[in-house]
Amino acid sequence: MTKIWVNSGDSHVMEPADVWTERLPARLGARAPRSERGEKYEMLYIDGERIDRQLGDFMDAMRPPGAWDLKVRLKDLDQEGVWSQLAFPSMGFWLVSITDRELARETVRAWNDWAHEEILSKNKRVITTACLSTADIDDAVAEVERVAELGFKAVFLPCSTRDGEEYALDRWEPLWTAVERAGLVLAFHIGTGGQNVVFRGPGGAVVNYMETTYPGMRVVSHMVAGGALDRHPDLRILIAEGGAGWMPAIGDRMDEAYRQHGMFVRPKLSRLPSEIIRQQVYASFQHDKSSVEIVESTGYRNVMWGDDYPHLEGTYGHTQSTLHDLFDGVPDDIRERVTRGTFNELFRLPEQTPQE
Ligand SMILES: CC(C)(COP(=O)(O)O)[C@@H](O)C(=O)NCCC(=O)NCCSC(=O)[C@]1(C)CCC[C@@]2(C)[C@@H]3[C@@H]4C[C@@H]5C[C@]3(C[C@]5(C)O4)[C@H](O)C[C@@H]21
Ligand SMILES: [Mn+2]
């Protein structure tokens, strides 16, 4: 079986437990996210709030030996055929729920400094997103400018927002301007910003998996229909780990809404919603065949494969068989686009994948 070399638009770094306590004064470090293992649940403490989650199951299911060690990770990637990765946080995801301005600013800054020193400065294949404060837009703008200087290629925000902070609202304008001007990708990872276990009845595991997918589409409907992407034509957003098959479907439905409910529509847009999605919205997937098929059948080309390394929803241990299932028989230009081209277009990395 020939090795298909790919880039991954959705991976994760595992931060050391002391990523904040080592870098912040005790009065702040003590309030940063930390998890303690309980019987069935892990207790997650964030600024005094407690969230019970089955994180332990996720951690135990972590197979890849390189999850916590960059050098070993690069060997894992060679084995799997992954050249570059865009790596999201793990514990860093929980920073988005901090509402205290100083704590949000300082924990975000500390996480980004750790990522810059321990990942970005130590290799060229794994690049991390940067975290941003959701507590204060001015702090987020300042951090965008700082991390762009440090060489980050993407920042991330949560898919779900607090009520009254939806992404269509003007409050975000200074941040959209800053991200667009810095040429960074604005990434949203599914399952962030809200509850991930919302139903505990029959089928709960699959229902909850699906329920974390919908907020990613909601980000797109707000930022397209609210005009954010129309006002910032160079701003590119990525919805990571939510699959990509939904892009043409919501493009069509938003066009229908825009036309059939035209008398209610504001703001008016300079392009149809579907055109804005085609040009400025990107999505990643791991196993979905439909994510490849829509590129062939609808011409939505902003589709990017992701290994979700080292999470159990990802492909570690079966990457090559997954890639052959997905791409054998698919036209070369589409395989090239989805496995490497979209990633290189977004993160403007020179083509580095070794030719087997
Ligand atoms: C089986 C039930 C119904 C039983 O209910 P019970 O708890 O016993 O009362 C319930 O426990 C369940 O649904 N368990 C399945 C596992 C699960 O928690 N599913 C949530 C939806 S999937 C999800 O949230 C993704 C998007 C995908 C899996 C990894 C995920 C949890 C990751 C994992 C965990 C944590 C959250 C995180 C980033 C993070 C650092 O890595 C994302 O924010 C989010 C993400
Ligand atoms: Mn992921």
Q: What share of the chain is helix, strand, coil (3-state, %, to 5)?
A: 45, 15, 40
- Residue 91's pLDDT is 94
pLDDT tens readout for residues 81-117: 999 999 999 999 999 999 999 999 999 999 999 999 9
CA distances from 255 to 92, 237, 309 (A): 36, 19, 35
What is the distance between the alpha carbons of residues 196 and 191, in angstroms, rounded to a whole number? 6
Torsion-angle region of 129 (φ positive above 0: left; ψ -120 to 50: alpha; else: beta): beta
Residue bearing tokens 């825009």: 258
Mean pLDDT computed over 179-195: 97
Q: Is 214 in the pocket of ligand 1 (CB under 6 A)?
A: no
- Residues near 2 by Cβ (< 8 Å), separated by ≥ 6? 356
Q: 329 C-alpha to center of ligand 1: Å?
A: 34
pLDDT tens readout for residues 145-158: 999 999 999 999 99
- Residue 311's pLDDT is 93
- Residue 248's pLDDT is 98
DSSP secondary structure string, 302-313?
Answer: -EEE---TTSTT
Closest to 314 in 3D by CA, of 287, 342, 343: 287
Q: Which of 46-60, 77-91, 109-123 has the lowest mean pLDDT?
A: 46-60
Ligand at shortest distance from the CA of 239: 2
Q: 10 C-alpha to center of ligand 2: Å?
A: 5
DSSP secondary structure string, 153-176?
Answer: -EEEEESS--TT--TTSGGGHHHH
- Residue 188's pLDDT is 98
**336 has pLDDT over 90:** yes
Q: Is 322 in the pocket of ligand 1 (CB under 6 A)?
A: no
Residue bearing tokens 């470090």: 29
**60 has pLDDT over 80:** no
Q: Is 286 in the pocket of ligand 1 (CB under 6 A)?
A: no
- Residue 59's pLDDT is 72
pLDDT > 90 fraction of the chain, expressed in percent and rounded? 89
- Residue 193's pLDDT is 95
Q: Is 27 in the pocket of ligand 1 (CB under 6 A)?
A: no
Confidence of residue 213 (pLDDT cuts 50, 70, 90): very high
* Rg of the chain on CA atoms, in Å: 20
- Residue 301's pLDDT is 98
Report the atom number in ligand 1 closest to the C-alpha of 197.
20
Confidence of residue 37 (pLDDT cuts 50, 70, 90): confident
- Residue 354's pLDDT is 66
**41 has pLDDT over 90:** no
Q: Is 55 in the pocket of ligand 1 (CB under 6 A)?
A: yes
Q: Which of 52-56, 107-111, 126-130, 331-335 has the lowest mean pLDDT?
A: 52-56
- Residue 148's pLDDT is 98
Alpha carbons within 13 A on the beta-carbon side of 121? 9
Confidence of residue 39 (pLDDT cuts 50, 70, 90): confident
Confidence of residue 54 (pLDDT cuts 50, 70, 90): confident
Residue 183 tokens, joined: 């040429």
Confidence of residue 308 (pLDDT cuts 50, 70, 90): very high
**352 has pLDDT over 70:** no
- Residue 351's pLDDT is 62
Q: ipTM exceeding 0.85?
A: yes
pLDDT tens readout for residues 226-265: 999 999 999 999 999 999 999 999 999 999 999 999 999 9
**356 has pLDDT over 60:** no
What is the distance between the alpha carbons of residues 337 and 328, in angstroms, rounded to a whole number? 14
The 3-state DSSP class for residue 12 equals strand
Q: Is 229 in the pocket of ligand 1 (CB under 6 A)?
A: no
Residue bearing tokens 């703001």: 267
For the beta carbon of residue 136, count every other beta carbon within 10 angstroms.
Answer: 17
Atom 14 in ligand 1: residue holding the nearest Cα: 205
Residue 334 tokens, joined: 């589409």
Mean pLDDT of the chain: 95
- Residue 350's pLDDT is 61
pLDDT tens readout for residues 26-36: 999 999 999 88
Atom 13 in ligand 1: residue holding the nearest Cα: 205
CA distances from 132 to 43, 59, 103, 109 (A): 24, 25, 12, 8
What is the distance between the alpha carbons of residues 12 and 190, in angstroms, rounded to a whole number? 13
